[in-house]
Structure 1
Amino acid sequence: MAASTIDELKATLVRALERGDATLAAALYEPGARLLPPGAPVITGEDAVRDFWQRRIDGGSDGGVLETVHRAEYGDVAIEEGRYGRRSGETLLDSGKYLVVFRRRPDGAWRFATDMWNSDAG
C-alpha cells in the first residue's frame, strides 16, 4: 500500500513551501506533471511548476495542511481526494478541496502527476 509513502510526499511538499523552497516542491512532481490551479491556465513541466510555487511563496503563502478524504490505488497510479488549507503564518489564506493523481516511478518513488484544486471561497 502506498499510503505512508504518499503521505510523506505530501508532507514534504508542505515543508518545502514552509521553507520557501520552490525547487524542492517542483522536484516532487514527475517530469511533465500538470498543475490545474483555479482561475489559471494549466501549468506543465518542472520549470513551470517551480515558477508557480515560487510565485505563491513570494505572494506570502508559507505552507498549510493537506487532509486526505479518500484515496484509491490502481497499480502504479493513486488518486486522492482531499481538503487543503493554505496559510501565511497563522493567517488562513484559503481553504478548499483537491484531486491529485500520483504515479509510481520505476524506482518505486511516488510523484505528483496531476494536481488540481479549487477554493471554497465563492
Structure 2
Amino acid sequence: MIALVGMAILLSCNSAPEKMNADPTPEELMQMNKDFAKALNAKNAKAAAELYSEDALLLPPGETIITGRENIQKYWQSGIDQGISDVSVSTMATGGHGDTGYEVGRYQLSIRDTSGKVITEIGKYVEILKRGEDGVWKSTYGIWTPDSTSFTAK
C-alpha cells in the first residue's frame, strides 16, 4: 500500500506542465508580430525569419508562395534592401485552442517604389501560429494584403 501511494505521488510530480496545453492568451499570440515589426525596423531579416516555423508558408500579395524559414529570410532581406521601414502592427482579433492560434490585424509600413519614392502601405494580415515544444509561438502561415494598389507617397 505504501509503495502504491509513493508511486502515485511520484507520477503526479512527473506530469507535463499545464501551460503547454492551455489555450493561448491574446498577449502570447500578439507577441510574434510585435517582435516581427521590431526585427524589420532593426533591418534584421534573420530575426524576422526566426519568428516563423522551419516549414512555414508565407503568402505575399501578387507573388508565389514562399516556403521555409531560409526562403522567408531571403524574402524579408529583399524588403529591407528595398528600404522597408516604419513597420507597425495593430491586432484586431486573436484566438486559439491548445497549441494552435491565430492573429488578425492591420499593418502599416514605408517602402521605396521602383522610382525610389518612399510610399506608405496600409493593409491587413492573418497569421496562423503554433506553439513549439519550447513554449514559443511561431507563425506557420502568414498572409497579408494592402488595402489598395495605390499607395500614399511621403
TM-score by length of 1: 0.91
Partner secondary structure for residue 81 of structure 1: strand
2:4 corresponding residue in structure 1: none
- The aligned length equals 120
1:42 corresponding residue in structure 2: 65
Partner secondary structure for residue 38 of structure 1: coil
Gaps (5+ residues) in structure 1?
A: none
Q: Which has the higher strand share?
A: 1
Q: Deviations over 1:26-47 (max 9, x none)?
A: 0110011010000000001011
2:148 corresponding residue in structure 1: 121
TM-score by length of 2: 0.73
Partner secondary structure for residue 85 of structure 2: coil
Q: Deviations over 1:41-79 (max 9, x none)?
A: 000101100000000000010241111111111211111
Q: Which amino acid is the alignment partner of residue 142 of structure 2?
A: D
* Contact 1:85 1:92 survives alignment (8 Å): no
1:102 corresponding residue in structure 2: 129
1:15 corresponding residue in structure 2: 38
> Cα gap change, 1:5/1:109 in structure 2, threshold over 3 Å: closer, same or farther?
same
- Report the aligned-residue RMSD: 1.4
Which structure has the larger Rg? 2
Is residue 74 from structure 1 mapped to residue 97 from structure 2 by the alignment?
A: yes
For 2:88 and 2:47, the matched residues in 1 are separated by: 17
Q: Deviations over 1:86-114 (max 9, x none)?
A: 125xx652011111101100111100110
Q: Which amino acid is the alignment partner of residue 138 of structure 2?
A: R
Query: Matched residues, percent identical?
Result: 31
